[in-house]
Structure 1
């Protein structure tokens, strides 16, 4: 973006757990931030685990062996380390120490860790010397109490070394005992998405929207998007559906799917639930455009933000979310402005909010307009990238130069390049 602050010449290494096509909010965020920083002139690399033997596989539920791959994602160099095994949710990556040392030796200004990420954090802890370290603390360890307690000393060691720690939202900071220990160097860096494909949909997206509308004509269409894990509030959604009209399309996979199907049957809503699994991007974008609202009934601070809210909002779709204490969820989509916010775990309140969208004339349209406007103004990927580069510069004590022209594309090195 000509005329905006950029990271020209800044060398940034992101450490993620996985990277798309692996699905997941943090995975998507790392890709979006890396691409947007590179577009503003930074030299950006990503180091992560290879989530699968199959380069097209979207799920990171696979825990077996995988090969090492190196590729270019547009302007971003991505190194996916081969995994030997996964033990207690930690990936065993034999090549990690050596690869990390070599990448650092090539010259890095900023090491940016995305946490929780025990494997990468431990690797950084073991490095005697590091460039400036920045950490995005996406979530506390909420449910795994024992693992969290054992992991805390390792977190403390790296967070003490970090120059800055980013939180997805201001709201999350005061509810995190870890972040409050380092409050003087914590800054909010709200997540963003590339809103352009949502604001100006492709012909493929419009065709997908038409199919969704045709398949579910005459009934409200509710979406849930995300991994089927405990904090997503799947069971609350199913209970709410029993008290609201319409059909619920559940987009995502995860360990609670079988229990969710059983619960839907017990509640008598089995025929009104579509288990869509993973959807390709165009199909998901079409669903956002065809739906009545996104249901986002998450129930714990493990849900710190909720990028699918931003995707829905950019599509002009109202969001029904929950008021999780000390989480950024209700900051992303605001009550009565871009959607409706209900108490955590309250299926009756979620059902009432859904009925309001159907019964109150003009409400869904007003909230949808507000959602699109907020996404375009505050939740853009380029806004996020500029903020991140300014925060780097402030901490490093250096100015961020301006870019005079767009950087040229980098050719594929090895593996499969993806635009």
Structure 2
């Protein structure tokens, strides 16, 4: 079984949530015998194909980017050629240029779309894009949502329920580095023995401005790991609020991130808009047995974090509620420990890479014979 993944960016150019899902999916299905290839865009000059954790990565030049929509004319030809060699083409939505490339490349292989998120922000452009989006979603063979919560709350997916299934994201803890004692000691000395942790790209929908408001008046250490387009804006806000307890660490490598996950007291994940469709960093917190605080936004964040069980769920954009949740966990270590343990058990039950890989392999195997059988059935008619 040969599967081609197509998305606008991938390792080593970036490793955000969707890229991590693709990585875990390639590694997990690779262990089950699938040969995976990833086609992505890049600004780098040297774009030689390379092997990464058992799968092949091909990159083509990124020509332009308009409203977060990466464009590459070279990708159309590459997609056409590489799809010919694949048994299944696996798209990762949203990426409007991808929809256009699918038709221009005349892809005629079994196709799967993992629907990572609705498009939330660019409403005017969305109206122009809607006809292409729906033509693309009608044309593919299967659509996958990452949580039942998102399937239930997405007006777009509601139109395609007949071919949409739910396969949750999964992580493999063995693909994460084991933290060395010296690294743990370094971070413990720098940030203290007890702290709230946020990990992620610093984007508008992450709700970090709300977290900073909640931090005002508290003296709990809050560690923010990540870089992104609103980093300076957040630092300026922290300065205005005179926050001495918030530590911005910037982007860190996996070894340092794992060390901080291991040491952290709890995860603070204040995303307040539906652009946060799942929350891979939140899932990493569950994998490391941490209690979580998140917001109810009708997406997969509340599928990972069950209020009162694995953590606390608060209304979005409510700094007072977020502050109260942090105080509750901080003042009740035994409650926090029990919630963290239940979070880890829920990860082991629902969110492993092995489970995700087996479900996707079943879908691939279901789709490929259908598409191959269709011309034969027409010929025999």
Same fold (TM over 0.5): yes
Give the 3-state SS of the residue equivalent to 1:246 in structure 2.
Answer: coil
How far apart are the structure 1 equivalents of 2:133 and 2:334? 48
Q: Is the 8 A contact 1:12 1:111 kept in 2?
A: yes
Corresponding residue of 2:138: 160
**2:73 is aligned with 1:100:** no
Give the 3-state SS of the residue equivalent to 1:141 in structure 2.
Answer: coil
Q: Is the 8 A contact 1:17 1:27 kept in 2?
A: no
| Bigger RCO of structures 1 and 2 (CA < 8 A, at least 6 apart) | 1
- Over residues 181-239 of structure 1, what are the superposed CA-to-partner deviations in whole Å (9 max), with x where a residue is unaligned? 111101111111112356xx6253x4322222222336x31111111111100111001
Corresponding residue of 1:254: 228
Give the 3-state SS of the residue equivalent to 2:114 in structure 1.
Answer: strand
For 1:121-132, what aligned pairs fall within 5 Å after superposition?
Answer: 121-132=99-110
Q: Is the 8 A contact 1:134 1:164 kept in 2?
A: yes
Query: TM-score, with normalisation over the residues of structure 1?
Result: 0.84
Structure (1/2) with the larger helix percentage: 2
Q: Is the 8 A contact 2:305 2:343 kept in 1?
A: yes
Corresponding residue of 1:18: 9
Corresponding residue of 2:25: 33
How far apart are the structure 2 equivalents of 1:350 and 1:210? 30
**2:66 is aligned with 1:87:** yes
- Over residues 43-102 of structure 1, what are the superposed CA-to-partner deviations in whole Å (9 max), with x where a residue is unaligned? 11111112x42xxxxxxxxxxxx4433111132111011223323323332321221122
Aligned length: 369
Q: Is the 8 A contact 1:244 1:352 kept in 2?
A: no
* Alpha carbons of structure 1 residues 276 and 216: separation in structure 2 relative to 1, 3 Å: closer
Q: Is the 8 A contact 1:251 1:275 kept in 2?
A: yes
- Give the superposition deviation at 1:397: 5.1
How far apart are the structure 2 equivalents of 1:256 and 1:83? 23
**How well do the aligned residues superpose, as a CA RMSD in angstroms?**
1.7
Corresponding residue of 1:237: 211
How far apart are the structure 2 equivalents of 1:127 and 1:288? 43
- Give the superposition deviation at 1:337: 1.9
- Give the superposition deviation at 1:336: 2.0
Q: Is the 8 A contact 1:233 1:299 kept in 2?
A: yes
**2:163 is aligned with 1:185:** yes
For 1:259-278, what aligned pairs fall within 5 Å after superposition?
Answer: 259-269=233-243, 271-278=244-251
Query: TM-score, with normalisation over the residues of structure 2?
Result: 0.92
My pick for the range that moved more, 291-300 or 366-375, is 366-375
Q: Is the 8 A contact 2:79 2:105 kept in 1?
A: no
**2:199 is aligned with 1:207:** no
- Give the superposition deviation at 1:23: 2.6
- Over residues 331-363 of structure 1, what are the superposed CA-to-partner deviations in whole Å (9 max), with x where a residue is unaligned? 112112221111111111111111111212411
Q: Which runs of 4+ in 1 moved over 4 A?
A: none
Corresponding residue of 1:73: 52
For 1:14-413, what aligned pairs fall within 5 Å after superposition?
Answer: 14-21=5-12, 22-50=14-42, 52-53=43-44, 66-105=45-84, 107-196=85-174, 202-204=178-180, 206-217=181-192, 220-269=194-243, 271-325=244-298, 327-396=299-368
Q: Is the 8 A contact 2:219 2:245 kept in 1?
A: no
* Alpha carbons of structure 1 residues 129 and 346: separation in structure 2 relative to 1, 3 Å: closer
Give the 3-state SS of the residue equivalent to 1:366 in structure 2.
Answer: helix
- Give the superposition deviation at 1:321: 0.6
Corresponding residue of 1:414: none
My pick for the range that moved more, 83-92 or 315-324, is 83-92
Give the 3-state SS of the residue equivalent to 1:312 in structure 2.
Answer: helix
Q: Is the 8 A contact 1:288 1:312 kept in 2?
A: yes
How far apart are the structure 2 equivalents of 1:88 and 1:315? 35
Q: Is the 8 A contact 1:245 1:355 kept in 2?
A: no
Give the 3-state SS of the residue equivalent to 1:283 in structure 2.
Answer: helix
Instruction: Identify unmatched segments of 5+ residues in structure 1.
Output: 1-9, 54-65, 399-419
- Give the superposition deviation at 1:385: 0.5
